Every structure is written in C-alpha cells, then in structure tokens.
Amino acid sequence: MMNRLAQEKSPYLLQHANNPVDWYPWGEKAFAKARAEGKPIFLSIGYSTCHWCHVMERESFENVDVAKVLNQYFVSIKVDREERPDVDQVYMSVLQAMVGSGGWPMSLFLTPELQPFFAGTYFPPVRMHGRPSFFELIERIHELWETERDTLIESGEHITDALKSPVRPEAQTDLRDAVERTFHHFEQAFDRTEGGFGTAPKFPRPVQFDFLLNYYAAFGKERARDMALFTLRKMAMGGMHDQLGGGFHRYSVDRYWRASHFEKMLYDQALLLHAYLDAWQITQDSFFRDIAQDIVEYVLRDMTHPDGAFFSAEDADSEGEEGKFYLWTYYEIEKVLGGDAPAFAEYYGVTREGNFEHGTNVLYIAQQSLASVLSLPPLTAQLLAARLRRPRPLRDEKVLTSWNGLMLGAMARAGDLLEEPRFTKAAQRAGAFLWRTLRPQGQLFHRWRDADDHSLAEARFAANLDDFAFLIKGFLELYEATFDSIWLDRARKLQSEQDTTLFDTKDHAYFDAPEAPDLILRMKSENDGAEPSGNSVSAQNLFRLSVLTEENTYHARGEQILDYFAARVGPYPFAMPAMMANAFWKLRSPTQIILAGEDIASFKSIINSRFLPVSVTMRAESAVGPFAASLVPKDGKATAYVCHDYHCELPATTPEELERVLANTYRLAAIEGVSR
C-alpha cells in the first residue's frame, strides 16, 4: 500500500511513499483534517540525501507499531526542506529557539493552527543517551494532548508570538567596526595546522572565504588571504574532496578534511567553484585552477540534466551504507592497479588496515611529493572506471531555481576565467532553460521536476528570495562573461519582480518568502550559512546593477539592506560574512571596467588574471548606462576605460597600459587606515 506521498514529485517524499505512516504533503488537506478531528500535527522535515533522515525512516517510519500510533492520534506531514525552504526556515527558527541548535531530520509537533509546541531532531528507536525513543515520545505527546491540551496550545502561541517580535537593535552599527570584528573572529577561530575555523566537524563555508579575500583586497592584510588559501588547499587535498570523481562532499567529520559525510550538494559545488577561481586569480597557482576545473567537470558529467539544468544532490548512502560508493579496501585497489597499487596507496594515504571505518580507506593526498614520479591520471581513471561499476548513490534530480542560479553563474565565470567555451555554453544553456521552464507566463517558480513522460514535468511553488537573488546573480555573471545584454535585461526584470513581491518597505530589506496563509511567520534570515542568505546576495546584486546601469536607486537599496542587517547582527557580524563582504561596496569606490571595440580578448585576459572585487566589467556596445554606452574605441583601436570615484583613468589601448591602470586604480580604491 502506498500513501499520499506517491502522488508527489519530490524524491524525498517519494522515498516515504511506502511507509505505513499515513503521510500527508504540506497543504490544506492535512490542516483541515487536523482541525476537523482536533488532532495535533506531527511535522517531519528532511531531504533526500540526508543520512539521519534515512536512519529515522528505517527505524521508526517503517515500523508498523509507530505508524499505528501516528495514524490514530496525529496528522503526519512530510516536508522536503529543499522543495519548501519557506516552511523549513520557519520551523528551523522554532527548533533553534526551543533547543538551541538545529539539524535534520526535524521533528515537530504543532497545533491544528500550525503553532509549534515541541521540537527536536532525530529520535532513536530505543531510549539512549538521555533521549527518549520516538515511540515513547509520540505516546507522551498524545497523553499530554488529551490531558493538557490548553497548556500546549497556549505554549505554541507564546512561541510563535516571541518569534514574531524579535528584539530590535537600539542603534546603528559602525560598519567599519563590524568588518574588523568579523575578521578578528575568523583570525581567532582559525586552525593554523589544518585550516578551517573551529573544530570538527568542519563545513566548507565559502562565504567565509569570500569575506576574507575581499578584506585582503581592500586592506592588503595578507593574513586574511593566507587563511583562505591555506584552508582551500587543505580541503582540496583531503578526503572531503572526491579525489577520483571530482567535486566536494558535504563536510568533514574530523579536523583534517579526511573523514567525510559523503553527500554532494549542488550549492557546495557552485560556491566552492567561485572560491577556487578567486584563489587562482590571486595566486596564478595551477593547483587552484585544476580544482576549479575538476568541480565543473564533475557537475557536467554527473549533475546535469539532458536539457541543461543542474540536479540538486547525490546521496551519501548506497547499498544501505554511508560512503560505500567512495571507500576502498587495499585489496580492491590492488586488484585494479596491480603493481602500481603500493605507490598509489602511499600517495593517497591508503593502508592495508584501512584509514577509515571497517578496514576501508578514504582517498586523500598524503604524499604530494610523489606526484612528480607517479602517472596519476591513468591510475585514477582506472579506479574511477571500477567505481562506476558499483551501485551508485541516489541522485536527487529535482531542479531548484536558486541552486541552478548559483551554479550557472559560477560556471559562466569558470568558462570566462579558464578560457573554456564549453563551460560558458553550459552556463548559457542552463540560463535559457530556467528562463523558459521556471518562469512560464512571467512568474518565477522554485522547483522543476522531470518525468518519464516529459509532458508530465512540473514547475511548482512560488519563487522565494533565494530563487530571485541567486538567479539574478547568475545572470549578472553570465553578462560579464559574455557581454550578451539579454542576461542583464533578464536580471533587471527579475530584480523588479523581486522588489514587488518581497521588499519590506518598513524595514528596507527582503522577506525570505512571499506572504502565504500557511506560514505562521514571515522571516528575514539573519545568517550566512552553507549558502549565503538571500538578502546578502541581493545587496551585492543591487550594488552591481547600480554600476552596470548607472542607476543610483539600486545602490541606495543595497545600502539600506546592508545597514539593516549590520544593525541586526550587532555584536555577531561574523554570522553574516557575505553581508559583511558587501560592506566593501559602501566603504570603497566600485570600479567600472568598460571595453570598447572588437579585439578585446587580450584585455579580458588581463582583467581575468587579476582578483578585482568591488568591480564590474562591461562592453560599451552592450551597455545600458548612458555614460558607458557613449564610450568608443580610441583611434580605432580596442580600448579599455577604467573608472572609479566619479572619474576615469586615461584610456588604455594596449594590455600593458591596462595592467598599469588597474594596478593604480586598485591602489587608489583600497581603504586606507589599516597597516599591512
């Protein structure tokens, strides 16, 4: 017997379609049943590649006795957090307020009016470590609902009221001081031996690298640059980086970046691609270029729909075990590589006893010096071919507008910087797919899901802030990579729609989601986590649009967002490093680089070889601003105009002249007052 989730498109919901639990998807049918029968709601939120979500399903949701209690006394709702980030954000804020931390699977109990009165994460099948079993929990919740219902309802109302009325800041925050405190926080938390910030588990948070490298560019602080580059190098050498197939796993459970949690997320690939491209621009070290290329090749090979969009994730589990697809015994490597196995094993830290669990090995670069004497590409190709014969982890093939926006922008930038037209074409193809498929009749949607019968493919759920912001960011990066004005035009249209749908004219910032009757809170996220917040990306988009179009209203709105969140995070600006990176658009003068004429390839190479944050590059012939559009080639030669702080340097007609102008401009544009 299949439950109601069998009619859904979400891979996560479909994973639970055979459970004996009488699951409902999030929606009015479930709410109406709870109201009519006076039952509490059990809300379970997770995602398809979540390891502990799989564990809780096997232990509890497939258990007939658990299902009997849930079906008799509760209305059970299952939510895919990636499909409904608006619902997830609301109840994650509840969980964090009640418990002090968050995570998935989320397990919450709500009144029929959707007010939460109990929240937790994973619950085991038997009592352990002071945590009740899930069966004990639901029996106790049922007992309390029958005997103390009014108290639970009142508790839910109090929790919701408290979250609706957050403490407002008493005064504005000094932006320069907030930037300095963010840097010093990372400096103090930095792991000088292994890279990263804090202790295990270690998550790659590219927003941290973005802040640090912007800080370095503005102040010349080599310490900021070195922390970012050292961490990026350590991550790439570790087991968190898939040494055979490319791309990065979700996080490392140890401090050495070796023992991974093996799921792969599209947004990690996109954001880390930006970080490694930044590292390559700063250092011109081929190591960072190779890692950037490795990420793109993985995404194009394993995460791309035939029509050009990008899939969401790959699971950590295969054959019922976490990481099985990626782990090796020494014997398995020896069987594939024969006499080359000992040297290969030494390079990648493989031992006969195993460097991981149960005699298995995760590959990481242990002896980099051996690279000069090993022919690694043929060996890794052999091992990858052997791995591809194993049962693969589940791939979540839903297409999310937000994550696709991040990926197509990063891929466009990779194509431009690495001079790989194949990458640029893939980004353009993805952008065209999203505009065609996820914005029918001018309304942007959040999720698209294919079907065996393509006529049944579906775009669904109104776009949220991340969808608008991340896609606008991607289109702006596509414009700067190609100078095709269609991408700038589309970015401006989306920005107008975002402003109309989501801007709060009272607080001068964006809501995370459109107003909806099934959301008890309308939030503005105050954290840059694994992904930057929608407001952080929006502020940067607005600053970039202002320079690209010469329209100051964009810049003014970007400053409003920056000031609002700088005040809200108060003593903890490091909670929003992406927003703090936006501060440099206000603290220093943005730079316009305008290219006029036909033969501009050599100029683009010069620009692309330098790390130039707080700048935009455009072509006069496709510019929309009146000043940029008025510029013409000097003496019939391709010409570069570099402008900042309301004036332009002398036009450059040779790559050497442009090199000198850029060096001088960035020296002048840097923020003074900080020792190097």
Handedness of CA 435, 436, 442, 444 (dihedral sign): negative
Give the strands of the sheet with 445-449, arranged side by side: 399-400, 445-449, 458-462
Contact at 8 Å (CB) between 446 and 401? Answer: yes
Res. 80 pLDDT band, cuts 50 70 90: very high
Prior bond to 105 cis, omega within 30? yes
What would the pLDDT profile of 162-215 be if each residue is shown by its tens digit? 888 766 665 667 899 999 999 999 999 999 999 999 999 999 899 999 999 999
Res. 370 pLDDT band, cuts 50 70 90: confident
**Intra-chain end-to-end CA distance of the chain, in Å:** 68
Global pTM value: 0.95
Q: Which tokens go with 327?
A: 């782990």
Res. 617 pLDDT band, cuts 50 70 90: very high
* Helix, strand, coil fractions of the chain, as percent rounded to 5: 55, 15, 35
Contact at 8 Å (CB) between 94 and 159? Answer: yes
Which residues make Cβ contacts (< 8 Å) with residue 260, sequence separation at least 6? 239, 240, 249, 250, 251, 252, 253, 323, 326, 362
Is the pLDDT confidence value at 675 over 50? no
3-state DSSP call for residue 304? Answer: strand
Encoded amino acid at 546, one letter: S
- Can you tell me the distance from the alpha carbon of 77 to that of 510, in angstroms, rounded to the nearest whole number? 28
Looking only at the bridges linking them, the beta strands covering 615-619 and 591-596 are parallel
Res. 618 pLDDT band, cuts 50 70 90: very high
Q: Which tokens go with 166?
A: 């957050």
H helix intervals, 348-396: 376-387
What would the pLDDT profile of 449-469 be if each residue is shown by its tens digit? 998 777 778 999 999 999 999
Res. 614 pLDDT band, cuts 50 70 90: very high
What would the pLDDT profile of 329-353 be if each residue is shown by its tens digit? 999 999 999 999 999 999 999 999 9
pLDDT at position 38 is 97
- Can you tell me the distance from the alpha carbon of 196 to that of 13, in angstroms, rounded to the nearest whole number? 35
What is the rounded average pLDDT of the residues 116-125? 94
3-state DSSP call for residue 33? Answer: helix
The neighbour count for residue 557, using CB atoms within 10 Å, is 23
Looking only at the bridges linking them, the beta strands covering 321-322 and 395-396 are unpaired
Percentage of the chain surpassing pLDDT 70? Answer: 97
CA 658 vs. chain centroid, Å, equals: 35
pLDDT at position 17 is 97
What would the pLDDT profile of 379-438 be if each residue is shown by its tens digit? 999 999 999 999 999 999 999 999 999 999 999 999 999 999 999 999 999 999 999 999
Q: How many Cα neighbours within 13 Å face the side chain of 397? A: 16
pLDDT at position 674 is 40
Phi, psi of 432 (to 5 degrees): -65, -40
Compute the mean pLDDT over every residue in the chain, rounded to the nearest whole number. 93
Q: Which residues pair with 106 in a beta bridge?
A: 45
Contact at 8 Å (CB) between 248 and 204? Answer: yes
pLDDT at position 665 is 77
